[in-house]
Chain A
Amino acid sequence: MQRRNFIQLSGLGIGSLLTTGVPVLGHSVSSEYLLEASGRGVGIDNAAKKRLADIALNAAKSKGATYTDVRIGRYLQQFMFTREMKVQNIVNAESFGVGIRVIANGTWGFAATSNVTPDGIAKAAETAVAIAKANSKLQTEPVQLAPQKGVGEVTWKTPIKKNAFEIPVQEKIDLLMKVNGEAMKNGAAFMTSNLFFINEQKYFASTDGSYIDQDIHRIWPTFTVSVVDRAAGKFKTRDALSSPMGMGYEYLDGLASEKIAAPNGLIGYRNSYDMVEDAMLAAKQTKEKLTAKTVQPGKYDLVLDPNHLGLTIHESVGHPTELDRVLGYEANYAGTSFATLDKWKSKSFNYGSKLVNIVADKTQPNTLGTVGYDDEGVPCKKWDLIKDGILVNYQAIRDQVAILGEKESNGCCYADNWDSVQFQRMPNVSLQPGTEKRSVADMIKGVDKGIYIIGRGSYSIDQQRYNFQFGGQLFYEIKNGEITGMLDDVAYQSNTQEFWNSCAQLCDKDDYRTFGSFFDGKGQPSQVSAVSHGCPTTRFNGVNVINTGRKI
């Protein structure tokens, strides 16, 4: 789905998303059709898919390809949009087709078709080879592909308990109406709520000898509460404190065991989300925001909740450690990176304080980036990006790892649809918790002058990922170890390296939670990917806070 289309469908503001443009992902279809065995692609078993894949592999080889991979994909989406006590839209989308990538004359070529027949596939494979050969005239160096041993015929599935597509539409709408009703009862003037479900059914085969069938599920419940003071001419909003997850409908069970109590009646949600409770709290907190004190600019110690810090990790660590950005492939669009190869080679570049350990992990349960194999057939794994504050590695795929002197891909290649070419995308990138037992309340007790920030707000970072500015959903002033009230007009600005070097204290694993994004944008034409970022509540000392209040 195009990001702009998504915004139109949802009525969400531009600031709600991370992306800057994405390709169309399917056609609108009925809910029942998404589950029908006769639906396009569903009726094809793996043996048939293998036969079709082999047609692509053989056709490309016969035209001169030295490597080929083929992805046969069926992508399902269900989006629900409500406003106050009204259902605005229910969108079911399905997309089915095949994408074929080849190397010929040392150059990549790619072609895709929705004509998933032996003829259609063979023709697409030939087109991919023809494009590769045509482009090889402009190519300066041949592609160097890291070897990957074939994994044979394997399968992988997100370990969901409840398939969201099998839950009746009425049950989901009833939930959203209850969510909206609770918010309105508690003071919301306006309320929008949304449910997003995604299922990627992907079959991958390559000339390495891999035939991989995967079934991937994701969920994102969210809302925005608005409160208006017409007399004062003011309005405030608060978004849901949920996170998109790599889970089934069970994420909405709202289990008490997955709630983490924080000061001021705040609740953190781990692997289970209570949407009704969060909406009720949101309405009350948004009313409070209308009369919150405007912040005094200056240096503060920041206590950052995982639902906020996850976005900071995404922007200031996730993107700059993408090797394609480091090398310049994104220079015309998303930018390059300050984390250049010389800094990595020095083995002494202080990305952060010694407390900072950040890992890339495509195996972490319940997260958005977790799959069994990436989109070039590499088994997924976990690896260090920042170890004890030092930059130690990047995110690299098969045609990049030779640059790092390595022989094995990190397994983080992804395409957002069958008709998109796969390229390096961010795995789950997470800050590891502290080893000392510490709750959020313990952390706040140690802060003299600080701000406790919860939720994802405004966010912006430069094209090399140095200078950033972040807002949030809720800001609480901390004085002498205690929360004294709510603040407004808060944003912090910092430089990535200075910020991570100011990391002073971490809560432990019991406070660890994940933040996520469904629509992280990159590439031209732009694609989206979904990714999670885990961390505990973390303290950063002496960060510059500005006041964003203006008059027009």
Chain B
Amino acid sequence: MAIILSKDEAKKIIDKVLSYSKADEMSVNLTGGRTGNIRYARNSVSTSGEGTNLSLAVTAVFGKKSGTATVNEFDDASLEKTVRRAEEIARLAPENPEYMPMLGPQTYLSTDPYSENTAKMDPAYRAQATFDSLDPCRKKNLVAAGYMEDSTRFNAIGNSKGLSAYNRETSVEFSITVRTADGLGSGYATQDVTDVSKLSTKNMTEIAMQKAMASVNARALEPGKYTVILEPAALVSNVDASLMVALVRSMDARNADEGRSFLSKKGGGTRLGEKLFDERVTIYSDPTNLEVPTGAFSGDGRPQEKVTWIEKGVVKNMPYSRYWAEKKGVHATPPGGNFIMEGGTQSLADMIKGTEKGILVTRLWYIRPVDPQTLLYTGLTRDGTFYIENGQIKFPVKNFRFNESPVIMLNNLEAMGKPVRIGGNLVPPLKIRDFTFTSLSDAV
């Protein structure tokens, strides 16, 4: 059986599974995909592989009791056995007082997060892309460590209430760290795309090489409050927690209502409608955006919407679970599949030119929450930190540890650059005043 099923092929299987149901309600989730990867370090490939997976999950419901069973065999007997198993678990499960009946048919936006170029990637393509990254590093006696992972997948859901949804998508993530042979310099670059023809491992590697060479012999500056230019990779990470993702994911309405969120109001209630950020801050989700397209539905089948979370600094919307939305009598907005932060038109170079004194930060690392009440996070700069004076990068500086909250950060906004895709989102480089560095790190 193919791994990437078409909409019709997927629906046929789902309908067959639903025909076996004896439960009050039943939903079926069918997923399949292929991933490939190549990893290199010390200027040589270390591991590489490819994997495929196709599986089906069946959820059966009796009253408010539900059970799920999955299978990755697709003959009729296996599918029926899986349905019976889900029903058996549902009968045994404890009742869930917060259970919400399944959704009926939904209307979805038209989105297109799929690229045939990416779907066709093979080991030879990966090896060439890796060579394009390794070769310039070897020639300049620099040491490369990088990783590329591509994914092609589909997801289809259907239920006994008539809901039917299908999504097919591709993605490629590439990252490269280049270090000088003496270990005194390190640079980083990363790019993620839906269509691999938009990725250049060579161009990304050149950026990382320049940063590595320029970051040798870093000088120590005193920790304290500095104006910083945070590149998009310092605001959103593909592999770690990050300040902007932390902010967007901390906006859940139930937590705010329950008094345990930065959006909880003293004395009760939430801060919905309050201006909490600089008026230039606008953040929204849009599954149809051509640069960062996502699937048209959330995991529980709700339509993804174009929804504004923060508009001109004011909290406009919060994501709700279906249960909590019903309890509060509001629309059940799901969390977005992406987020887009509006910015300006300046390039990063323009922003550096316009900076009298500041620090350019390539990447932040090991970002962890310190206090959920204030969204205070700690972490460190890494792989390219530079001092800016009179519009020019003057010299590399040693890495810092920061303790900062994205809420405070977005109130200290000086300037915003042109948004770029990072981690499936659109985020501009930001110039922030009074960013709090609390200690120095000797790490390169």
Which residues of chain A have a CB within 8 Å of any CB of chain B? 13-15, 20-21, 24, 27-31, 33, 86-88, 90, 107-112, 114, 131, 134-135, 137-141, 169, 173, 189-190, 226, 228, 230-235, 237, 327-333, 335-336, 338, 340, 419, 421, 423, 458-467, 469, 471, 489, 491, 493, 495, 524-526, 544, 546, 548-552
| Cross-chain contact A421 with B69 (CB below 8 angstroms) | no
Q: Is B6 interfacial (CB 8 A cutoff)?
A: no
Q: Can you identify 22 A-B contacts, CB atoms within 8 angstroms?
A: A15-B368, A30-B85, A111-B50, A131-B123, A134-B123, A135-B38, A137-B127, A139-B44, A169-B92, A189-B258, A230-B267, A329-B46, A333-B147, A340-B183, A421-B49, A459-B368, A460-B379, A466-B442, A467-B399, A467-B440, A550-B374, A552-B374
Shortest Cβ distance from A286 into chain B, in angstroms? Answer: 12
Alpha-carbon distance between A335 and B49 when the two chains are bound, in angstroms = 22
Question: Which residue among A21, A107, A189, A460 has the maximum number of chain B CB atoms within 10 Å of its CB?
Answer: A460
Q: In the complex, which residues of chain B have a beta carbon less than 8 angstroms from the beta carbon of A169? A: 92
Shortest Cβ distance from A165 into chain B, in angstroms? Answer: 15
| Cross-chain contact A29 with B69 (CB below 8 angstroms) | yes
Nearest residue in A to B363 (C-beta to C-beta)?
A463
| Cross-chain contact A460 with B378 (CB below 8 angstroms) | yes
Alpha-carbon distance between A459 and B401 when the two chains are bound, in angstroms = 12
Which residue of B35, B92, B143 is within 8 Å of A328 (Cβ)? B143
Alpha-carbon distance between A141 and B41 when the two chains are bound, in angstroms = 12
Nearest residue in B to A135 (C-beta to C-beta)?
B45
Nearest residue in A to B238 (C-beta to C-beta)?
A21
Alpha-carbon distance between A199 and B55 when the two chains are bound, in angstroms = 22
Alpha-carbon distance between A292 and B423 when the two chains are bound, in angstroms = 39
Q: In the complex, which residues of chain A have a beta carbon less than 8 angstroms from the beta carbon of B265? A: 233
Which residue of B147, B405, B440 is within 8 Å of A552 (Cβ)? B405
| Cross-chain contact A332 with B47 (CB below 8 angstroms) | no
Q: Is B163 interfacial (CB 8 A cutoff)?
A: no
Q: In the complex, which residues of chain A have a beta carbon less than 8 angstroms from the beta carbon of B365? A: 335, 462-463
* Contacts A138-B134, A338-B442; A552 near B179 (Cβ below 8 A): no
Alpha-carbon distance between A89 and B102 when the two chains are bound, in angstroms = 17
- Interface segment out of the listed B10-18, B93-101, B309-317, B414-422: B93-101
| Cross-chain contact A140 with B143 (CB below 8 angstroms) | no
Which residue of A336, A460, A464 is within 8 Å of B368 (Cβ)? A460
| Cross-chain contact B369 with A13 (CB below 8 angstroms) | yes
Known: A327-B42, A460-B380. 7 other contacts (CB 8 A): A14-B246, A27-B71, A138-B127, A336-B183, A462-B399, A548-B370, A552-B262
* Contacts A29-B70, A131-B123, A464-B442; A189 near B259 (Cβ below 8 A): yes
Which residues of chain B have a CB within 8 Å of any CB of chain A? 35, 37-51, 53, 55, 57, 67-72, 85, 88-89, 92-94, 96-98, 123-124, 127, 130-131, 134, 143, 145-147, 149, 175-177, 179, 183, 186, 188, 239-241, 246, 258-260, 262, 264-268, 276, 365-376, 378-380, 382-383, 399, 401, 403, 405, 407-408, 438-444
Q: In the complex, which residues of chain B have a beta carbon less than 8 angstroms from the beta carbon of A138? A: 40, 44-45, 127, 130-131, 134
| Cross-chain contact A335 with B443 (CB below 8 angstroms) | yes
| Cross-chain contact B37 with A524 (CB below 8 angstroms) | yes
Which residue of B45, B175, B442 is within 8 Å of A467 (Cβ)? B442
| Cross-chain contact A86 with B98 (CB below 8 angstroms) | yes
Q: In the complex, which residues of chain B have a beta carbon less than 8 angstroms from the beta carbon of A335? A: 365, 382, 443
Shortest Cβ distance from A109 into chain B, in angstroms? Answer: 8
* Contacts A13-B372, A332-B177, A551-B374; A231 near B438 (Cβ below 8 A): no
| Cross-chain contact A108 with B177 (CB below 8 angstroms) | no
Shortest Cβ distance from A399 into chain B, in angstroms? Answer: 10
Q: In the complex, which residues of chain B have a beta carbon less than 8 angstroms from the beta carbon of A549? A: 371
| Cross-chain contact B176 with A332 (CB below 8 angstroms) | yes
Alpha-carbon distance between A237 and B258 when the two chains are bound, in angstroms = 14
Q: In the complex, which residues of chain B have a beta carbon less than 8 angstroms from the beta carbon of A340? A: 183
| Cross-chain contact B49 with A458 (CB below 8 angstroms) | no
| Cross-chain contact B371 with A550 (CB below 8 angstroms) | yes
Which residue of A28, A140, A471 is within 8 Å of B44 (Cβ)? A140
Please name the 8 residue pairs, one residue from A and one from B, whose CB atoms are nearest each other, closest first.
A233-B266, A464-B443, A467-B441, A331-B145, A462-B443, A332-B145, A27-B70, A228-B259
Which residue of A27, A190, A232, A550 is within 8 Å of B408 (Cβ)? A550
Q: In the complex, which residues of chain A have a beta carbon less than 8 angstroms from the beta carbon of B149? A: 524-525
How many residue pairs link A and B with beta carbons under 8 A? The number is 235
Which residue of A332, A419, A458, A552 is within 8 Å of B41 (Cβ)? A332
Shortest Cβ distance from B32 into chain A, in angstroms? Answer: 13
Shortest Cβ distance from A47 into chain B, in angstroms? Answer: 25
Alpha-carbon distance between A173 and B96 when the two chains are bound, in angstroms = 13
Shortest Cβ distance from A158 into chain B, in angstroms? Answer: 27
| Cross-chain contact A546 with B403 (CB below 8 angstroms) | yes
Nearest residue in B to A141 (C-beta to C-beta)?
B44
Q: In the complex, which residues of chain A have a beta carbon less than 8 angstroms from the beta carbon of B258? A: 189-190, 228
Question: Which residue among B39, B130, B134 has the maximum number of chain A CB atoms within 10 Å of its CB?
Answer: B39
Q: In the complex, which residues of chain B have a beta carbon less than 8 angstroms from the beta carbon of A31? A: 89
Q: In the complex, which residues of chain A have a beta carbon less than 8 angstroms from the beta carbon of B267? A: 230-231, 233
Alpha-carbon distance between A551 and B407 when the two chains are bound, in angstroms = 10
Alpha-carbon distance between A203 and B145 when the two chains are bound, in angstroms = 32
| Cross-chain contact B93 with A90 (CB below 8 angstroms) | yes
Shortest Cβ distance from B170 into chain A, in angstroms? Answer: 17
Shortest Cβ distance from B222 into chain A, in angstroms? Answer: 15
| Cross-chain contact B369 with A552 (CB below 8 angstroms) | no
Q: In the complex, which residues of chain B have a beta carbon less than 8 angstroms from the beta carbon of A111? A: 49-50
Alpha-carbon distance between A333 and B382 when the two chains are bound, in angstroms = 11
Alpha-carbon distance between A226 and B266 when the two chains are bound, in angstroms = 17
Q: In the complex, which residues of chain A have a beta carbon less than 8 angstroms from the beta carbon of B131? A: 138
Shortest Cβ distance from A517 into chain B, in angstroms? Answer: 14
Nearest residue in A to B73 (C-beta to C-beta)?
A40
Alpha-carbon distance between A187 and B241 when the two chains are bound, in angstroms = 32
| Cross-chain contact B443 with A14 (CB below 8 angstroms) | no
Q: In the complex, which residues of chain B have a beta carbon less than 8 angstroms from the beta carbon of A235? A: 259-260, 264, 372-373
Shortest Cβ distance from A157 into chain B, in angstroms? Answer: 28
Q: In the complex, which residues of chain A have a beta carbon less than 8 angstroms from the beta carbon of B376? A: 548, 550
Nearest residue in B to A24 (C-beta to C-beta)?
B53
* Contacts A14-B369, A29-B70, A333-B147; A493 near B240 (Cβ below 8 A): no
Q: In the complex, which residues of chain B have a beta carbon less than 8 angstroms from the beta carbon of A237? A: 372
* Contacts A137-B127, A333-B239; A548 near B371 (Cβ below 8 A): yes
Q: In the complex, which residues of chain A have a beta carbon less than 8 angstroms from the beta carbon of B241? A: 14, 20
* Contacts A112-B49, A169-B92, A552-B405; A460 near B366 (Cβ below 8 A): yes
Nearest residue in B to A137 (C-beta to C-beta)?
B127
Shortest Cβ distance from A474 into chain B, in angstroms? Answer: 15
| Cross-chain contact B439 with A493 (CB below 8 angstroms) | yes
* Contacts A29-B69, A235-B260, A327-B42; A461 near B370 (Cβ below 8 A): no
Shortest Cβ distance from B125 into chain A, in angstroms? Answer: 12
Shortest Cβ distance from A149 into chain B, in angstroms? Answer: 26
Nearest residue in A to B49 (C-beta to C-beta)?
A110
Alpha-carbon distance between A329 and B45 when the two chains are bound, in angstroms = 10
Which residue of A20, A30, A458, A551 is within 8 Å of B239 (Cβ)? A20
Alpha-carbon distance between A138 and B137 when the two chains are bound, in angstroms = 13
| Cross-chain contact A491 with B441 (CB below 8 angstroms) | no
| Cross-chain contact B41 with A131 (CB below 8 angstroms) | no
Alpha-carbon distance between A190 and B262 when the two chains are bound, in angstroms = 17
Question: Which residue among B44, B146, B246, B375 has the maximum number of chain A CB atoms within 10 Å of its CB?
Answer: B44
* Contacts A234-B373, A235-B260, A329-B41; A524 near B443 (Cβ below 8 A): no
Q: In the complex, which residues of chain B have a beta carbon less than 8 angstroms from the beta carbon of A465? A: 443
Nearest residue in A to B369 (C-beta to C-beta)?
A15
Shortest Cβ distance from A436 into chain B, in angstroms? Answer: 34
Shortest Cβ distance from B278 into chain A, in angstroms? Answer: 13
| Cross-chain contact B378 with A469 (CB below 8 angstroms) | yes
Alpha-carbon distance between A235 and B375 when the two chains are bound, in angstroms = 13
* Contacts A30-B89, A190-B258, A524-B147; A552 near B407 (Cβ below 8 A): yes
| Cross-chain contact B179 with A328 (CB below 8 angstroms) | yes
Q: In the complex, which residues of chain A have a beta carbon less than 8 angstroms from the beta carbon of B44? A: 138-141
Nearest residue in B to A526 (C-beta to C-beta)?
B239
Q: In the complex, which residues of chain A have a beta carbon less than 8 angstroms from the beta carbon of B38? A: 135
Shortest Cβ distance from B432 into chain A, in angstroms? Answer: 15
